[in-house]
């Protein structure tokens, strides 16, 4: 087994915990802007000094509310500066954050709250509060003590349901401010008690069986990964980083939160993908991180122009200060990376996963090899197993899966994290991902989907006999569906002698199956829902090599055989 090591980590990690690193940044940067946050269409600045004061007040508020060291607090909120304040405040109070992606269904939210045994939930606005209210109603063994509402609309929504004790974030923070002097010793003690091995967060990621697993990442995991990546990809001293990826995912958590904190870089929080180009024009960032879907959209516009006009248009889109962009979360087509870089948008692909906190390898402006995911970051090892699986070891590897020792033992063997991805290392140590060993679809948006879970939801209806979900590297999920032809005939009132080929061509058959797909996907997250599907006139079979002897789908065979049909679903 060939092992490739990243260069040595030049500087030792100076702080045992994220709160200590944050306090150092506040002292060092003082009045310089830390955050630009958007409200009513305008960006407002928050200095490091004021940022630090908000975190300390909120941390005292959490201690006053009864949060104990290593207790879990769920964060159910879209990106906003209050998310960042509460994350750092909870860590300062010695707690553990459990970020929950807001678009998740109420049943998924309930699972993560219950499985993590969260004692508190921070909720942002009315939409998140409505989802949370439904989720609370589904908790079988509630450990939840109170909900902290950021917006008044969220507090009112939850108070009207009378499902949990509700406290506003403003009230929690103000109580903390009043008692800050009294609680300062307790906060100091809690921060002093944190070590690199202390648990910082539990992040839930989709498993191949559809059962989410809670990835445990420590203070040391994040600090090491942030410092290692900054060593080879330093932020400009006067840099401004634009964030739009969700902080509830590990990619933005590290790249748009902890890395800028260590580097002293200002972060502007975008209003979201529809506003992203306007926000770039307003803030003039020097760099950003995104998933391939964003770069696909940029390239689609540039590719339609004559080659000599692309550089000018790229500069108009990204601004005069723009230096480089990172792509992660999913595979990036080589032609897009080359095309954008030739147009003046230096695009650097990286690779990682939640379990590695997350970066494993990344290209840099000085060492950028298109089609690859770059070389291992400093201080870690990467290897390719005999079966082609990418393995990694080092201080970036998770502490394990929360309440799932069996899955932890399977994922980490002799110190090596088994990524489930297939890859190759070239002679210069550049890593190229060639496929996926585990059954997990990664959309071009960066969202992970366990196809078995989606297929299982559809197969609960007797109208659907077989289904193969596709979408790896695509913007949305699609499906190849084999209906139960007897059931379809019965529901359509068709004669028994109507052939399957004719049945699947009938518009009323598509409408019927479409309603079933919509109903069965209703409990899934938005990105887990089937957007388009094709009806097949014959079942998958062992004889055609589409099924294993145990009747599992041979996905590569099916996708090759129906490549034309799949392309039509994404036309």
CA geometry: angle 429, 431, 437, nearest 5 deg: 140
What span, in angstroms and rounded, lies between the C-alpha atoms of 363 and 360? Answer: 11
Average pLDDT of the chain is 94
Place of tokens 């409990």: 523
468 three-class SS: strand
Ranges 26-35, 432-441, 548-557: which has the least confidence: 548-557
Return the pLDDT at 173: 98
Question: What's the pLDDT tens digit per position in 390-413?
Answer: 999 999 999 999 999 999 999 999
Structure tokens at 489: 């005939």
Beta strands 240-243 and 287-290 are parallel
Q: Is the peptide bond before 358 cis (omega within 30 degrees of 0)?
A: yes
Question: What's the pLDDT tens digit per position in 341-398?
Answer: 999 999 999 999 999 999 999 999 999 999 999 999 999 999 999 988 999 999 999 9
Return the pLDDT at 550: 53
Place of tokens 């109208």: 463
Ranges 164-178, 196-210, 417-431, 479-493: which has the least confidence: 196-210
Q: Do domains 17-24+39-194 and 450-569 have the same CATH topology?
A: no
What span, in angstroms and rounded, lies between the C-alpha atoms of 224 and 410? Answer: 24
Beta strands 324-327 and 448-449 are unpaired
Return the pLDDT at 549: 56
What span, in angstroms and rounded, lies between the C-alpha atoms of 177 and 560? Answer: 62
Q: Domain spans of the chain?
A: 17-24+39-194, 230-442, 450-569
Distance of CA 238 to the CA centre of its chain: 28
- CATH code that applies to domain 450-569: 3.30.300.30
Question: What's the pLDDT tens digit per position in 1-18?
Answer: 889 999 999 988 999 999
- CATH code that applies to domain 230-442: 3.40.50.12780
Ranges 125-139, 161-175, 445-459, 513-527: which has the least confidence: 445-459
Place of tokens 């989709």: 206
Nearest alpha carbon to residue 351 among 322, 380, 314, 386:
380
What span, in angstroms and rounded, lies between the C-alpha atoms of 304 and 508? Answer: 38
What span, in angstroms and rounded, lies between the C-alpha atoms of 124 and 148? Answer: 9
What span, in angstroms and rounded, lies between the C-alpha atoms of 374 and 201? Answer: 27
Structure tokens at 215: 């990835």
Q: In the predicted model, is pLDDT for residue 525 greater than 70?
A: yes
Q: In Å, how far are 268, 269, 272, 286 from 39, measured between CA atoms?
A: 12, 10, 12, 22
Structure tokens at 21: 């690193």
- Contact (CB, 8 A) for 482 and 466: yes
Question: Please, where are the H alpha helices in 459-535?
Answer: 485-492, 500-503, 507-520
Place of tokens 């958007």: 38
Nearest alpha carbon to residue 154 among 175, 176, 172, 132:
132
With both helix axes pointing from N to C terminus, report the angle between 180-192 and 81-92 in degrees, rounded to the nearest 10.
Answer: 70
pLDDT above 70 covers a percentage of the chain that reads 98
Domain 17-24+39-194 has CATH 3.40.50.980: yes
What span, in angstroms and rounded, lies between the C-alpha atoms of 299 and 314? Answer: 9
What span, in angstroms and rounded, lies between the C-alpha atoms of 482 and 466? Answer: 5
Q: What is the mean pLDDT of residues 155-163?
A: 91
Question: What's the pLDDT tens digit per position in 222-270?
Answer: 999 999 999 999 999 899 999 999 999 999 999 999 999 999 999 999 9
Beta strands 441-442 and 448-449 are antiparallel
Return the pLDDT at 293: 79
pLDDT category, 552, cuts 50, 70, 90? confident
The continuous run of DSSP H or E covering 192 comes out as helix 180-192
Query: Is this structure's pTM higher than 0.95?
Result: no
pLDDT category, 206, cuts 50, 70, 90? low
Task: Estimate the share of the chain in helix, then strand, then coil, as percent rounded to the nearest 5.
Answer: 40, 25, 35
73 three-class SS: strand
Q: In the predicted model, is pLDDT for residue 298 greater than 80?
A: yes
Return the pLDDT at 208: 37
Return the pLDDT at 207: 46
Q: Residue 513: is it exposed, middle or buried by C-beta count within 10 angstroms (0-12/13-18/19+)?
A: buried
What span, in angstroms and rounded, lies between the C-alpha atoms of 539 and 73? Answer: 47
């Amino acid at each position: 087994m060939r092992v490739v090591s990243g260069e040595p980590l030049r500087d030792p990690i100076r702080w045992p915990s994220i709160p200590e690193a944050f306090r150092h940044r506040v002292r060092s940067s003082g009045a310089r802007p830390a955050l630009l946050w958007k409200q009513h269409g305008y960006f407002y600045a928050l200095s490091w000094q004021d940022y630090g004061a908000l975190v300390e007040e909120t941390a005292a508020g959490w201690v006053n509310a009864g949060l104990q060291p290593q207790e879990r607090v769920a964060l159910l909120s879209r990106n906003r500066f209050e998310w960042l304040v509460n994350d750092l405040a909870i860590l300062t109070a010695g707690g553990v954050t459990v970020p929950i992606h807001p678009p998740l269904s109420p049943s998924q939210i309930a699972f993560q709250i219950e499985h993590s045994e969260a004692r508190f939930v921070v909720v942002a606005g009315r939409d998140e509060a409505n989802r949370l209210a439904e989720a609370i109603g589904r908790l079988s063994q509630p450990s939840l003590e109170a909900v902290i509402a950021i917006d008044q609309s969220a507090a009112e929504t939850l108070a009207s349901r009378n499902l949990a004790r509700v406290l506003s974030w403003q009230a929690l923070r103000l109580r903390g401010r009043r008692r800050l002097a009294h609680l300062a010793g307790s906060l100091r003690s809690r921060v002093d008690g944190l070590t690199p091995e202390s648990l910082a967060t539990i992040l839930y990621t989709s498993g191949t069986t559809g059962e989410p697993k809670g990835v445990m990442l420590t203070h040391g995991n994040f600090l090491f990964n942030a410092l290692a990546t900054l060593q080879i990809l330093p932020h400009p001293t006067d840099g401004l980083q634009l964030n739009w990826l969700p902080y509830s995912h590990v990619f933005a958590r590290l790249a748009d939160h902890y890395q800028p904190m260590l580097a002293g870089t200002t972060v502007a929080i975008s209003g979201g993908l529809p506003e992203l180009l306007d926000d770039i024009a307003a803030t003039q960032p020097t760099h950003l991180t995104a998933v391939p879907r964003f770069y696909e959209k940029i390239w689609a516009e540039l590719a339609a122009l004559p080659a000599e006009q692309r550089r000018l248009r790229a500069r108009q889109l990204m601004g005069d200060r723009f230096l480089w962009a990172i792509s992660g979360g999913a595979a990036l087509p080589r032609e897009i990376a080359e095309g954008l870089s030739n147009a003046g948008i230096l695009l650097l692909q990286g690779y990682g996963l939640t379990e590695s906190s997350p970066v494993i390898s990344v290209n840099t402006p000085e060492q950028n090899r298109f089609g690859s995911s770059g070389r291992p970051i400093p201080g870690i090892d990467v290897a390719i197993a005999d079966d082609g699986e990418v393995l990694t070891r080092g201080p970036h590897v998770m502490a394990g899966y929360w309440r799932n020792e069996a899955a932890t033992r399977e994922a980490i063997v002799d110190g090596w994290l088994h990524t489930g991805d297939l890859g190759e290392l070239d002679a210069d140590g550049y890593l190229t991902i060639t496929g996926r060993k585990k059954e997990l679809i990664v959309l071009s948006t960066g969202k992970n989907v366990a196809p078995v879970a989606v297929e299982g939801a559809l197969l609960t209806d007797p109208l659907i006999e077989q289904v193969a979900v596709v979408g790896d590297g695509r913007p949305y999920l699609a499906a190849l569906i084999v209906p139960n032809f007897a059931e379809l005939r019965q529901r359509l009132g068709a004669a028994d002698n109507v052939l399957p080929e004719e049945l699947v061509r009938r518009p009323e058959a598509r409408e019927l199956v479409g309603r079933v797909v919509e109903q069965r996907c209703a409990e899934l997250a938005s990105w887990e829902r089937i957007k388009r599907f094709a009806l097949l006139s014959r079942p998958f079979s062992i004889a055609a090599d589409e099924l294993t002897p145990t009747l599992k789908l041979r996905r590569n065979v099916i996708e090759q055989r129906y490549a034309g049909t799949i392309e039509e679903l994404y036309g």
